[in-house]
Structure 1
Amino acid sequence: MSNSKPVLSSSLGRKLIMSLTGIFLCTFLIVHLIGNLSLFKDDGGYAFNNYAYFMTHFPPIKVVSYLLYASIIIHAVYALVLTMKNKAARPVNYAQYDGKANSTWNSRNMGILGTVLLVFIATHMQNFWWKYHNDQVPYIEYQTDLATGKTIAKTLEASEFTDYVKTENNGIETVKARDLYKQVDFAFENPFLVGLYVLAMAALSFHLIHGFQSAFQTVGFSHKKYVPIIRFLGVWFFGVLIPIGFALMPLYFYFVK
């Protein structure tokens, strides 16, 4: 017990916490991207609105969500503390040494990249999470003929909606839901918001290309047999595929929908 505080407050301890929270956030990105791919379905938002309800009401997911919020805050705070302590430890550049020669651009600018991502997260939460949880999005009703699979959607007035409802009667499935899909469509009519999302995904790409590999190195997972796999996943999966997947969503709504 007496040794836990010094370890966690040491430079190595802070890096370890940052690495573990970063790896957890990477796993969240996978789940979030898979769920958000339903935005591309041409079903009037039926699949996405059901996904949004599930993610905000299924108890285990809600617990994971609180862990996610905590991880974002801890990751950001520890990154700030490490940056400040590193600068304090070396207030002036070495005269005989140029750090740029032995480091990548993204590793030298993780603070800037992280700041862009924090602005993005705050904007994202305000536009979608906050409005969804505070009844500031439209309401919709879907009626699906279970025999034909045909779905008819209509916008509901606030007086017609109390909470998410899914019923079946005479072969017709009726779903009443908060229309987060419509909110997404409305938000991405704003070119500045679309630009911020694309910029943030570029920042996420550079952040993950360095951060993913660095996290596994910090936790000691650096066996030469697995380093190429970690590097490949860090660059091509987390650094390229995932950011492109997220960036395509605002671009799709702005240019296609």
Structure 2
Amino acid sequence: MAKSAFLKSSIAKKYWMALTGLFLCLFLVGHLLGNLQLLAGRSTEAALQFNKYALFMTSNPAVKVLSYLTYISILFHAIDGIALAIQNKKARPVNYAYKNDSVSSSFSSRNMAVLGTLVLVFIATHMVNFWAKMHFDKNMPLQTIAAENMGQKVEFFVSTNNGLAGNDAFLGKFIPTNAVDGKYYFVEGNSIYLNREFKDIHDGNKLKKEKIKIAEGYKDLHKITIEFFKSKGKLFGAIPNEGLLFTIFYVFSMAVLGFHLWHGFQSAFQSLGVNNKFTPAIQFFGKVFSVIVPLLFAIIPLYIHFILK
């Protein structure tokens, strides 16, 4: 009975590992297609397009649901992987006197737990550096564009809408940054507000203030990403050229992801019972996927740090 329960538990875990793993592969493709826009460079149009994509990914209700599903899948995939590794270890407590793993299995299959842990560390650092800033950093800059006016350079915030109805000069698509002085007009999150003073006739004409939202801007994730990989600052205040270190770390992490996918992709289909004439095609596609997707991800920081001017 104990063995039967253990077997059922292991099979269930493998099914969930496979399903969450394949779902995360789909997420990787979508995330990659969005991030490849960074290869378009520093132009205003390229930055605006990427920031529109970032806003869509953080505000669209359907995408939000998929995002929460992704977070759950990452946690479940990681926890399930650890549980399976522990179960497998307990199931074979005594090592064989001689076992040449390099002949019977690949490097990836023998080190899935270690590779998965390294990928999880990367995901955590990636979310701290970008996801958390996008959602919670009060100092996250809004995108601006520059224009010439009578020989002078003028900066404008780019609004995501056409403002609210009214005769205020700043309720438009482009809002002069010098008008947002922090007193009458100020930025909070990704929104621009007006501080309006008025006398409340219902409260003895007391002078009161009202915060009115006049527009929403695009959080400049494009700028944050470019500066992250091109930074010449010191990591932890001691290690120079942190942008290069970040680039090396991200490229290394993509290599680790590639090794994890090399075995994991085809293993997911095997766990789901797909073992037929399509198996060779699945194995071939999995190997192509495990090389191309991490490689394209790795190209992005390399391009930003070494090529982008």
- Per the TM alignment, residue 9 of structure 1 is displaced from its structure 2 partner at its CA by 6.3
Question: Counterpart amino acid of 2:256?
Answer: A
Q: Which residue of 2 aligns with 1:231?
A: 283
Q: Which residue does 1:183 correspond to in 2?
A: 224
CA shift for structure 1 position 247:
0.4
Higher share of residues assigned helix: 1
For 1:119 and 1:154, the matched residues in 2 are separated by: 38
Gaps of 5+ in 2: 148-153, 158-176, 193-214, 231-242
1:254 equivalent to 2:305? Answer: yes
Corresponding residue for residue 9 of structure 2: 10
Residue type at the aligned position of 1:16: Y
Contact 2:48–2:143 at 8 Å: present in 1 too? no
Which residue in 2 is equivalent to 1:195?
A: 248
Residue in structure 2 matched with residue 148 of structure 1 by the alignment: none
Counterpart residue number, 2:269: 216
Long gaps (5+) in structure 1: 1-5, 145-151, 166-173
Q: For the pair shown, which has the larger CA radius of gyration, 1 or 2?
A: 2
Compute the displacement of 1:154 (Å): 5.2
Over the residues paired in the alignment, what is the CA RMSD in angstroms? Answer: 2.5
Q: CA deviation at 1:7?
A: 8.7
User: Are 2:147 and 1:140 aligned?
Assistant: no
> Counterparts of 1:25 and 1:33 in 2: how far apart (Å)?
12
Cα distance, 1:101 vs. partner? 2.2
Post-superposition Cα deviations, 1:92-128, rounded to whole Å, max 9, x if no partner, equal 3112543332110110011111111111101100000
Taking structure 2 as the reference length, the TM-score comes to 0.70
Question: Where do residues 166-181 of structure 1 align in structure 2 (5 Å cutoff)?
Answer: 176-181=217-222
Q: CA deviation digits over 1:40-98, x for unaligned, max 9?
A: 12333111100000000000000000000000000000100111111112123112543
CA contact (8 A) 1:164 1:178 kept: no
**TM-score (normalizing by structure 1):** 0.84
Distance in 2 (alpha carbons) for counterparts of 1:93 and 1:153: 68
Runs of 4+ in 1 over 4 A off after TM superposition: 6-9, 152-160
Amino acid at match of 1:214: S
CA pair 138-158 structure 1, distance change in 2 beyond 3 A: farther
TM-superposed deviation, 1:191: 1.5
| Residues 142 and 175 in structure 1, CA contact (< 8 A), matched pair in contact too | no
Query: Which one of the candidate residues 35, 57, 66 is aligned to 2:59?
Result: 57
**What is aligned with 2:79?**
77
Q: How many residues align?
A: 235
Question: Structure 1 vs Structure 2: percent identity of aligned residues?
Answer: 45
Q: Is the 8 A contact 2:108 2:263 kept in 1?
A: yes
Structure 2 CA distance, aligned partners of 1:47 and 1:207? 32
Does the C-alpha gap of structure 1 residues 40 and 77 become closer, same or farther in structure 2, counting only changes over 3 Å? same
